[in-house]
Structure formats: structure tokens, C-alpha cells
Structure 1
Amino acid sequence: MARDARGNTPVHLAARGGHLEAVAALLAADPPPDIFTANLAGVTITDAINAAMAAQDRATDASPERSGGKADDGASRGWEGGDAWSDRLAAELSGDEDDPFGGPWGVPATPVESVDEFAQRIWREMQERQRARAAATSAEFVSARERQRARQAEAAAAAARQSSRILEDEQARDAAWREAVAQGDAGARRASYEARWQRFVAAPPASIGLRDVPWILSGPQDLDAAQLRRVVLYGATDAGAQRRCIRAELVRWHPDKFQSRFGQRLAAAEAVGVLAGVVALSQSLNALAAGVAT
């Protein structure tokens, strides 16, 4: 297998760079590399791979996502390249080189793996790491998508609320404008009605037809409740004033009183129509009175 000036094989270099996928691929080559091959610093392929995987674990545990803050400098130092990496790794691995048992006193050394066992273990660990990264990436993607959807839903709801407020404001302004127009019109119609009534009662005796009667609205058939209320109660701001206005109109349009006062002057051809209109108007005034608070 090829080596660089420091005796590093491609597996050494891949491990030092943290490219564990490349390490797994190189171990699966035919023929596979000798995992006990050492570089000039004495670091074997096995040592380099184990150190790279440990460094990756430390970096992952100390990452901002896992630790909630800045990654630990000690973890990040495990990724440095060049001779420093190999020298430190060799020093760490030589701590028990004089121990004939390869471990603490009285504790048997861990059995050495074969090349195939080592390659299989590395492959399994790489697959587990890839699955873990894929799961983390998928979870983060789902979380980001859910956050985006939540932001979009909130933005849509805010826009809908704003549109609703604008519509309500427009409707309120329109209603206020219409009411102002209606009130202005009601004042003019009230003044016209009062003038016609005064002329009617002050006129010299003459025959009275449908068109001569000073109906509150436009005629005997015009009994719109809202318009009648506006005209009759125009200027009456409280319940007492409203009741007085309605009583005055009920006296004017009481069928018996109207017939007693003007019956002799009704034109024979229109007398029935006039009296029917008076009765209908009187009933509308009674309905208006029932709607005023007592």
C-alpha cells in the first residue's frame, strides 16, 4: 500500500482527516490493508482509526447542539493534522508498551481482533453512525419544516386578523356614514311632515282625498318601521322624550279622533282608503311604542 513521506497509508490519512466513510471503504478493499501497519511515528492503522472515532465522538458530544454552547476546545484538538497528531497519538498509545500484558496489573489484555473482525466492527460502527446522523438530520428537517409551517400559519392568521379588522373598520365607517345620512334625511322629512300637518289642520274646509292627508312618510302604504322610527323619534334622545313623541302622533292618527275631526270632509270616493291608511299608520305607531323602553 502506498505511503507518504511520514509513512502514512491512505487509511492513516483518511482517519486523520476524520473521513471515516473513506476508512470503511478502504478496509473493504481487495486485498484489505494490514491494520497493523504503522507510520514513522509508530501509529498503526488500528490506532489511527480508533483515535479518529474517539475524536469524532468527543466532537459530537461537545458540539453546540449537544452541549448547548461552544464546542470544547479539547474535542476540536483531536482533529488537528500533521506530525503533532501522530506524535501525540503515538505517545498516548505508548503509555503501557512496557507492560507485557498490555493492560493494568493483573488484568488480562483484550484479545487482538483479526483483520476481518476489525473491518467488520468498523463497518458496523460506521453504519450505526450514518443511521444516527440520518435520523438526526431527518428530525432536524422535520422540526425546521414544522417551525416553518407554524410561522406560515401564524403569518396567515395575522393577515386574516388584519383583513378582518380592516373590513370591520370599513363596515363601521360605512354604517356610521349611512346613519348620519339617514339622520339628516330623517330631520328633513320630520320638518316636511310637521309643515304639511300644520297646513293641513289650518287649511279652510275642503274635500280631503288620499293625496291631501299629510302622511308621516310618502303615503298610506309607506310604513317602513325603520324610517318611521327615525322620523317620529327624530331629536328624542331619551326614552321619556321618545314616549312623548309617540303619544303625540297616536293622538293625531287615532282612527276615531281622525274621523271625528276630519270625517265630514273626506271625499266620498276616497274615504275608505283614507281611513284604512289612518288605521294602518296608527297600528304602526303602536308597534313603535311597544319597542320603546318604559
Structure 2
Amino acid sequence: MKKVIRVGTRKSPLAMKQTKLVVTDLQQVFPELAFEVVELGTKGDRDKQTALSQFGKEGIFTDEIGQAIKSGTIDFAVHSLKDLPTVLTEGLILASHPKRENPFDSLIMRTATSLETLPVGAVIGTSSLRREIELLRLRPDVTPVSIRGNIDQRLAQLAKGDFDGIILANAGLNRLGWQNHEGFSLVSFDQERFIPSVGQGILGLECRKGDHYIQRILASVADPETMSCAAAERAFLLGMSTLEANQTSAAYAHVQGDEIVLTVMRGSRQPGDYQRNVYKGKDGHALGLAAAQGMRKLDD
């Protein structure tokens, strides 16, 4: 009989798809093991009314899953890295990051064909303060409105006419096989227009700190460049973790030659409160902390 490895995930279609992708890769490396997917509920999934920016706490999609790892209910979990808190639950570690998907955001529109052709006052659905700030920087006349639900639910709201456009992560669209849906126009942003959320497009494989057996299994699907970029982005987030409630930060790292290039931002809804910069280095964690320190010095 094969040894069973229990893999925890949220119940959403995207979370399930991401988990199955990881399990497929692991199964190829370890055909002698059986991977059992365990679906778990989270606070963020149960409360679909509150805007994500209003929860006031990290971990709304991950805390219950982390407790399931600690209790031994599951052996490891597959998370969207951007959902994980800056500081993990004590006793847990991020053991691996597989190769990153497209990290950028897209604006999906019902009638317009570009950001520039959206009508004045256009209603744009987004659950993210970061996206709202970046959007208003480019089009200060539009109206950001909170939107919740999985990708299919958000697209249904767009089709119904609740919004003129919605902003979604390319990674989720790609993993679910969603291309240019008939009746919608899509514009993808790069980091010059929208800096992605920390860890966007990256999966975080979380397990118990002392479980070296599971850590070795998860290390088999780690992508070195993604690991370095994740370290840089999360270190920056850690360095910026004492921002005021109405402020947010973002970071996107990529490898260029033998260096990590880290593009970062900090801002709020307050007009003029927006800063961005680019930092370079070879050690991801050190680079992220240095970038946070540099951004904070701009206030001095």
C-alpha cells in the first residue's frame, strides 16, 4: 500500500486547480506515494460580503489551514503566496515555491477596449487597496468598487452590468484556462503601470518546521529563481509591515543576469501619497529589507 500524503487547500475552484497542479508534479517525482487532497474552509471564504481591505488582519484565507498542518490533519498546504501573512504561524515554514505564473494584473472590460477608452466615472470592481491606488494613479476619474467572489462569479457580475470593468490576476486566469472571453476586452498591465501584490503568481507550499521528510518532498518542485524573488518580495513586505491602516505596499522581483531587480511601491488613497523605486541585489532577503529601509527614508 502506498504511503498517503495529505494536502490541504481552500475549496475555491482556483485553489483546487493550483493544488492539483502541484500534486501532479509531485506524483511524477514520487510515484510510490499517494497524495490525498483535503478541502478546508477559511474565514475569508465564509464571509463573502466584507471587502478584503476591511478585514484588518492577515491570514483570512490561510489561518485555519495552518492550524490543520500543526494538528497533523494535513501534511502540507498549497497557498497562493499573496494570501499568506507576513509572519507565518509559529512552527510552520514555507518549504517550496514552484515556478511562478504570470505575476501581473489585467483589466477586463465589458464595452471599452482599453483603460483610456473607459468612460468618465466608470465603475471598476477590485477587492484590493493596492489595485485601487494604482488604478486611480492612471485614471483618477474612475470609481473603484469592492467586489468579492471567485473568478467565475466576478466575471458573471461584469457580464450582468454591475461593473464597467474588473481587475483580476493573470495567474488565476491562466491556471483556470480562461482566455479572452467572448464579449469582454482584456488589457494586461506590467510593473510600470501596476506593481503586483507581493507573491502574486507564486504558490507557497507550507508544512511543519520539523517535518524534514515532507520538506524534502516539496523541495523537489522548487524553482530557484522563484524562491529568490519570493524571498525579496516577502522581506520587503516584512520591512513595511508597520504601515498605517490606510496605506499599502507592493513589490515585484525578477532575476536579471546575476541580480534580483526589485520594483516596489508604497501609497494610500490620499492624493500625492504614492512612491515607487527600483532596487537591485544578489541576496533576496537582504535586498527586500534594504528596499523597505530605502522607502521609509523617503519620509525623513
Range of TM-score over shorter length: under 0.3
Q: TM-score, normalised by structure 1?
A: 0.23
Highest relative contact order (Cα 8 Å, sep 6+), 1 or 2?
2
Q: Which has the higher helix share?
A: 1
Q: TM-score, normalised by structure 2?
A: 0.23
Q: Which has the higher strand share?
A: 2
